[in-house]
Amino acid sequence: MSGNDSNLSTPRIVAVANQKGGVGKTTTAINLGTAMASIGQCVLIIDMDPQGNASTGLGIDHDDREISTFDVLMDPNIAARSLTATRVPGLVLMPSTLDLLGVENELASTPDRSFRLKQAIELIKNVQINNGVEKKPLDYIIIDCPPSFNLLTINAMAAAQSVLVPVQAEFFALEGLSQLTNSIEEFRKLLNPTLEIMGIVLTMVDSSTNLSKTVAAEVSSVFGDKLYNAVIPRNVSVSEAPSFGKPVLLYKPKASGSQAYVELAREILHNERGAEQPAA
C-alpha cells in the first residue's frame, strides 16, 4: 500500500446517484465521461443498472457485453476482462445486462455482498487505458446507479469516494434531495465513512421558464457551493444521441448539451485540482 488513502487519490471514484427515476443519471454518466475523455482524462464507466442504458447509449451491443457487471459482482477477479472499449478514445465501459436483476438473490447469503464492486475496483484501479495516443492510468471511474437503493446502489456507495447527484429542475426536486442526503448519511455510517457529495448538477433545465432559477436558488440555499455553476439544458440532441449509440459530444459536438457537459467536466476537474493544492 502506498499509504495514500486520501479521498483525492486517483482514480477518483464517483457514483452518479439519485433514487428518483429519469433525472438524467445515465445521460450524465455517459456524457460527463465522454467530456472528461475529450479533455484528456482516462475514464471507466461502470454500468450498475440492469436496464443497461449506459451500455446501449455508448453503442455497446448486447452481443459485445461478454463479461458484464453481473459477472464481476459474482467474481471480482475477472473485472479487468470486463472492460470494453467504446468509440470514445480514453473511455472504457464495464457493461451491464439484465442478469444484474439477479444479484440480490445470488449474493443473499454472501457476507461480503456489499463490497463486491469495491473489491473489483481495487483490482482494476491501476489498469492502463489507450486514449488513442498512449496508454495512461485511469483518472476517473464513474458508476451509473439504478433509480433505487438496492444492493447494486449499496455496492456503488461502498466503492465510491463521492456522489454526483443529477437533479431535474422541477417542483419537487428538493424533497427527493433530502431523502437522498439521509440515505448518503446512512451509507456513510454503515459502509463508507468518507463518502461525500461531490456536487449537484441541474439537468434538463429549460431557460425559458423561471422554475429552473427557483430550483437552483433552493438547492444552493441548502447545498451552497455543492451546486455546480454548469447546468445541463434540456436539449433534443442529448435525448436523440443514445438511439445512435453515441454520446452527444460525438453525435452533435456543437449542441448546447455537448457544450454543457464539457463545462461540467472542466468545473469538476478545476474544483478537484483546487482541493488537491490548498492555498499556501
Ligand X SMILES: Nc1ncnc2c1ncn2[C@@H]1O[C@H](COP(=O)(O)OP(=O)(O)OP(=O)(O)O)[C@@H](O)[C@H]1O
Q: Looking at the chain, which runs of residues are DSSP E strands?
A: 12-16, 43-47, 84-85, 91-94, 128-130, 135-137, 140-144, 162-168, 196-203
Phi, psi (rounded to 5 degrees) for 200:
-120, 130
Q: Which of 26, 56, 162, 168 binds Mg ion (CB under 5 A)?
A: 26
DSSP assigned state of 168: E
192 binds Mg ion (CB under 5 A): no
Distance CA 258, CA 160 (A): 26
Residue 2 CB, shortest distance to ligand X, in Å, is 34
Q: Which does 192 bind (CB under 5 to 8 A by kind): Mg ion, ligand X, none?
A: none
Nearest of 219, 190, 161, 154 to residue 23 by alpha carbon: 219
Residue 248 CB, shortest distance to ligand X, in Å, is 8
20 binds Mg ion (CB under 5 A): no
Could you write out the DSSP letters of every residue in 8-46? TPSSEEEEE--SSTTSSHHHHHHHHHHHHHHTT--EEEE
Q: Which does 82 bind (CB under 5 to 8 A by kind): Mg ion, ligand X, none?
A: none
Residue 235 CB, shortest distance to ligand X, in Å, is 5
Residue 8 CB, shortest distance to ligand X, in Å, is 27
262 binds ligand X (CB under 6 A): no
DSSP assigned state of 233: B
| From 34-42, 80-88, 215-223, 233-241, span contacting ligand X (CB under 6 A) | 233-241
| From 12-20, 25-33, 57-65, 127-135, span contacting Mg ion (CB under 5 A) | 25-33
47 binds ligand X (CB under 6 A): no
Which is closer to Mg ion, CB of 20 or CB of 118? 20
Residue 11 CB, shortest distance to ligand X, in Å, is 22
Distance CA 26, CA 16 (A): 8
Residues in Cβ contact with 91 at an 8 Å cutoff, skipping those fewer than 6 apart:
33, 34, 37, 42, 43, 44, 45, 58
Residue 53 CB, shortest distance to ligand X, in Å, is 5
Which is closer to ligand X, CB of 124 or CB of 234? 234
Q: How far is CA 239 from CA 105, 136, 149, 243, in A?
A: 34, 31, 25, 8
25 binds Mg ion (CB under 5 A): yes
Under a CB-based contact definition with an 8 Å cutoff, are residues 187 and 146 in contact? no
Q: Using CB under 6 A as the criterion, what x/- string covers residues 167-206 for binding ligand X?
A: ------------------------------------xx--
Q: Which does 41 bind (CB under 5 to 8 A by kind): Mg ion, ligand X, none?
A: none
For 78, the grid coordinates are 475477472
27 binds ligand X (CB under 6 A): yes
162 binds Mg ion (CB under 5 A): no
Under a CB-based contact definition with an 8 Å cutoff, are residues 38 and 261 in contact? no
Contact residues for ligand X, defined by CB under 6 A: 21-27, 49, 53, 147, 203-204, 232, 234-235, 238-239, 257
